[in-house]
Amino acid sequence: MIVDCAVYRDGHRVEGPEDFSDALDEARAAGGFVWIGLHEPTEKEFDHVAREFALHPLAVEDALKAHQRPKLEVYDDSLFLVFKPVVYEPKSDEVSSGEVMVFLGDGFVVTVRHGEGAPLAAVRRRLEDEPELLAKGPTAVLYAIADATVDHYLDVATELQTDLEELETEVFSPDGGGSRNTASSIYQFKRQILEFRRATGPLGPPLTRLAGTSASSSGVPFVNEKARPFFRDVNDHLTRVNDSVEGLDRLVTDILSAHLAQMSVRQNDDMRKISAWAAMAAIPTMIAGIYGMNFEHMPELRWVWSYPAVIALMALLEVLLFRTFKRRGWL
């Protein structure tokens, strides 16, 4: 459905015709632009918009189906960008992603949002509160969306860093590392990082191209060349995010390895304890087995002190084994 449709002239929102085509013609004639925002439109709803703004059919198909990687596509009459904003749920400690598709052309911006995690109302309000920035035209809208998306990445990276520290405390605590749920928690956390990486990683090349920081970067049509420093700033923030994601991924892998090593050490300790107790139990069992064979020619059986001597021998051997194992840390 259409969430908002507005005509902007000299950085201010103005009343315009309800028809898309008339609004676009009026905006172009006055040096302004039209910004239409849609949320999960149906094919029928979006078909009218696509015809009025001459959007490329391949980009329209991507916008309708969603589930796209962040990317930048240049067509004859428009520019098509995909962003994947992310949302962090504190209650469940989960990261979920939405999608924002941006069509940028001569005098118009069309944004298509999928998912609840990518609201653009705040971006629109911010721009409307800054007329000088909004006066830059559609490029300002693209910059504001990119900036808001990447800034939120930084917030999510901070939240994940806090969760990682809590996970480290759990793994390396005296008792927490042996919990049955610890390995599951580490695995779930790694999945959250993977979901985050899918949103942040592929966005690098499009922002690099918009910023013009690579040697092969040329001017991007429909984007003001003077906006390159602003996109470079956003790209720098994204680089920080990607470095943070890489660090989180390496740390969680190290934590998993440390947890598995701890489990192996605990299993070895348990086996040593079991072996020590089994050895201590084998001494009286062996002695009792010898004297339980009922042979007739066992002279010590007729001695008066045979029974106390055998019991004392068993006790002495048990004490010696216990002290030996205790000294070696087996018990």
Tens-level pLDDT at each residue, the chain (331 residues):
777 888 888 888 887 666 766 777 787 877 888 888 888 888 888 888 888 888 999 999 999 888 889 999 999 889 999 999 998 887 777 888 889 999 998 889 999 998 866 568 889 889 989 989 888 889 999 999 999 999 999 999 999 998 888 888 888 776 655 566 777 888 888 888 998 999 999 999 999 999 887 655 567 888 888 889 999 999 999 999 999 999 999 998 888 888 877 777 777 777 888 888 888 888 888 888 887 777 777 777 778 787 888 888 888 888 888 888 888 777 7
Task: Note the pLDDT of residue 180.
Answer: 63
Residue written as token pair 């991924």: 249
Three-state DSSP at 263 gives helix
Instruction: Pick the closest to residue 103 from 151, 205, 33 (CA basis).
Output: 33
| b (16+ CB within 10 A) / e for 247-285 | ebeebbeebbeebeeeeeeeeeeeeeeeebeeebeebbe
Distance of alpha carbon 329 from alpha carbon 331, whole angstroms: 5
DSSP H or E stretch at residue 219: none
Distance of alpha carbon 204 from alpha carbon 183, whole angstroms: 32
- In this structure, the strands spanning 99-105 and 12-14 are unpaired
Three-state DSSP at 251 gives helix
212 — alpha (psi -120 to 50), left (phi > 0) or beta? Answer: left
Contact (Cβ atoms closer than 8 angstroms) between residue 68 and residue 134: no
Task: Note the pLDDT of residue 52.
Answer: 86
Contact (Cβ atoms closer than 8 angstroms) between residue 97 and residue 85: yes
CA atoms within 13 A on the CB side of 37: 18
Task: Note the pLDDT of residue 14.
Answer: 85
Task: Note the pLDDT of residue 117.
Answer: 61
Does the global pTM surpass 0.75? yes
Enumerate the β-bridge partners of residue 110.
36, 103
Task: Note the pLDDT of residue 244.
Answer: 92
Distance of alpha carbon 121 from alpha carbon 6, whole angstroms: 13
DSSP string, 7-40: EEETTEEE---SSHHHHHHHHHHTT-EEEEEEES
Task: Note the pLDDT of residue 214.
Answer: 64
